[in-house]
Amino acid sequence: MAAVRRRVRAAAVAVPAAALLGGWAAGVFGAAPPVYDGLPLSAEPYRYLKPPPGLATTAAPTSAAETVTVTGPAGAQTVELSTTETPPQATIIFSTGAFSAPSGERIVLRIAPVAPPAQPGRGRIDGNVYSFTATGPGPGGVPQPVGVAAGQVITLALRATGTPGAPTVDRFDSGVWRPLATTHVPPSEYSVSADRLGDFALILPPGSSGGGGGGGALIGAVIGGVLVVLAAVIVLIRRSRR
Amino acid sequence: MTAPAPAAAPARRTSPPPAALLVAALGLAVALRAVSTPAFVAVLAGAAWLSGWRPRRPAPSAAAWGLVGAVLLVAGPLTRLGPHPPGRSSLFPWALGVALVVGAEEAFLRGALWRVCVQRAGGAVALVATSGAFALVHLPLYGWKALPLDFTVGLVLGGLRLVSGSVAAPALAHLLADGAGWWLL
């Protein structure tokens, strides 16, 4: 009997473990990293450059800039630059060896919220459009854009407003918004690898509802309310049996 | 001689049964999850305590099971590490916050709720019910798409609880897996 119990208990770990590993291998759970607890621990409301109609004015979104020295592949360092909201609304992660500028040159990376250059053909922009730029000292000291070197990529991440839906990170390219292969980093960040800088935004597919976020809070309130009602029903049933 | 009976009856009537208390607390916690992490932690830990659950000294094997569980919980994503999305400002406050969330979730789910389910319906029901509750408390933050993953992770953590006989094993696995998120995310 004890041996049977041991086997049952071992199966209680082995079967879910096999399901977990199998689910990952089969892609059922997606590519998102495992997050079993709330990250970030606190989040301020999304800051709009121009709030959607019907939404209260928010604090102004922040920009970010950092000067780095371009390096060759040897000695390259990874740099992370984010806007200062909690959590950041826009982030760029890059190698100092990823730019098409001479080694040793000082370049400035900038992230800034900008007005949308155009609306997407389908769906709508979730949050702000962010301009990611790199500039170096051009001829005569006049700053000029610096691009990403061939074969190199940089990582960009944008925070969603919380509007229900599955947005993609799109780049404004030749006059249209083009979706990139997007990874959802729970709870609210979406990241891409990009071979060019420019204007990026989260684009929600058509039919996504809301305009100001709070989707998670709404889901929580609804499910929480159902559970509280269930608790009340349990109490009533128990009292009626006495 | 009849005095004790009337005195005892109101006490029974006013204190909610643990099942109702825990379901109500679970509902409140789910409602608060996307709104306030401290309130979420307080509700889960408070309900676990009010239900009468108390932590006990774990068996030595709990640590080993916890380590096994942690490896399982991060094994899949470790094989497909991609670009490193945004980090966070400071490791210590983040780790402290995560530890408090993990402690409250485990005390409530694999502690208090597990105990009530086992007493009333057995270990299999406890395993499924606490896994469902685990998935629900993560729903407000991660959405419906994460539900299958979180339910499966709940089953793994419940399996650790079952095989080790202690909350310490799933708590350690949960804590280490969450902690790995600092580097995985």
Give contacts of B27 with chain A, Cβ < 8 Å.
Answer: 223-231
**pLDDT(A233) > 80:** yes
What is the C-alpha separation between B185 and B170, in angstroms, rounded? 22
Judge: A220–B72 Cβ closer than 8 Å, yes or no. Answer: no
Please enumerate in sequence order all residues whose Cβ is within 8 A of that of B101, keeping only pairs 6 or more positions apart, or say none. Answer: A37, A38, A41, B37, B40, B41, B178
Report the complex ipTM. Answer: 0.81
What is the C-alpha separation between A196 and B8, in angstroms, rounded? 74
pTM: 0.70
- Check residue B102 and give its pLDDT: 94
Shortest Cα–Cα distance, A164 to chain B (Å): 9
Angle, CA A123 vertex, CA A114 and CA A85 arms, to 5°: 40
Q: Which of B16, B101, B145 sits opposite A38 (nearest CB)?
A: B101
Which residues does residue A67 pair with via DSSP β-bridges, in sequence order?
Answer: A108
Give contacts of B96 with chain A, Cβ < 8 Å.
Answer: none
- The more confident residue out of B100 and A8 is B100
Judge: B16–A82 Cβ closer than 8 Å, yes or no. Answer: no
Query: Which residue in chain A has the smallest CA separation from B155?
Result: A16
Shortest Cα–Cα distance, B11 to chain A (Å): 13
- Check residue B82 and give its pLDDT: 47
Mean of per-residue pLDDT scores for chain A: 86
Judge: A34–B73 Cβ closer than 8 Å, yes or no. Answer: yes
Shortest Cα–Cα distance, B1 to chain A (Å): 23
Judge: B141–A187 Cβ closer than 8 Å, yes or no. Answer: yes
What is the C-alpha separation between A127 and B172, in angstroms, rounded? 38
Which of the 8 DSSP states describes residue A50?
Answer: S
Contact B87, A33 (CB under 8 A): no
Order across the sheet with A183-185: list the strands.
Answer: A78-82, A90-95, A154-159, A189-194, A183-185
Q: Are strands A90-95 and A183-185 parallel, antiparallel or unpaired?
A: unpaired
- The more confident residue out of A189 and A16 is A16
Angle, CA B57 vertex, CA B53 and CA B58 arms, to 5°: 100
Which residues does residue A199 pair with via DSSP β-bridges, in sequence order?
Answer: A131
Over residues B143-166, the pLDDT tens digits come to: 777 788 889 999 999 999 999 999
Helix (H, G, I), strand (E, B) or coil at A140: helix
What is the C-alpha separation between B161 and B168, in angstroms, rounded? 8
Over residues A54-81, the pLDDT tens digits come to: 777 788 999 999 999 999 878 888 898 9
Lowest mean pLDDT, pick from A68-72, B18-22, B137-141:
B137-141
What is the C-alpha separation between B43 and B105, in angstroms, rounded? 10
Q: How confident is the model at residue A110 (pLDDT cuts 50, 70, 90)?
A: very high
**pLDDT(A41) > 60:** no
| Residue from B50, B65, B96, B142 whose CB has the most chain A CBs within 10 Å, to mutate | B142
> If residue A19 lies in a helix (H) or strand (E), which one and from where to where?
helix A2-26
Q: What is the dihedral of CA B179, B183, B184, B185, to 10 degrees?
A: 100
Give contacts of A193 with chain B, Cβ < 8 Å.
Answer: 82-83
Listing DSSP states for A222-236 in one string gives HHHHHHHHHHHHHHH
Between residues 20 and 79 of chain A, which touch chain B (CB distance below 8 Å)? 20-21, 23-25, 28-42, 78
Contact A156, A200 (CB under 8 A): yes
Listing DSSP states for chain B in one string gives --THHHHHHHHHHHSPPHHHHHHHHHHHHHHHHTT-HHHHHHHHHHHHHHTT----PPPTHHHHHHHHHHHHHHHHHHTT--------S-HHHHHHHHHHHHHHHHIIIIIIIHHHHHHHH-HHHHHHHHHHHHHHHHHHHH-GGGHHHHHHHHHHHHHHHHHHSSSHHHHHHHHHHHHHHHHH-
Q: Which two tokens stand for residue B12?
A: 């029974």
Q: Which two tokens stand for residue A29?
A: 């759970």
Angle, CA A237 vertex, CA A233 and CA A241 arms, to 5°: 170
> Residue A191's closest CA among A132, A149, A151?
A132
Angle, CA B119 vertex, CA B117 and CA B120 arms, to 5°: 65
- The more confident residue out of A44 and B6 is A44
What is the C-alpha separation between A170 and A202, in angstroms, rounded? 6
Judge: B86–A25 Cβ closer than 8 Å, yes or no. Answer: no
**pLDDT(A226) > 60:** yes
Within an 8 Å CB–CB cutoff, is residue A238 touching chain B? yes
Burial of A130 (0-12, 13-18, 19+ CB in 10 A): buried
- Check residue B3 and give its pLDDT: 44
- Check residue A73 and give its pLDDT: 79
Neighbours of A28 (CB within 10 A): 13
Q: How confident is the model at residue A147 (pLDDT cuts 50, 70, 90)?
A: very high
- Check residue A158 and give its pLDDT: 96
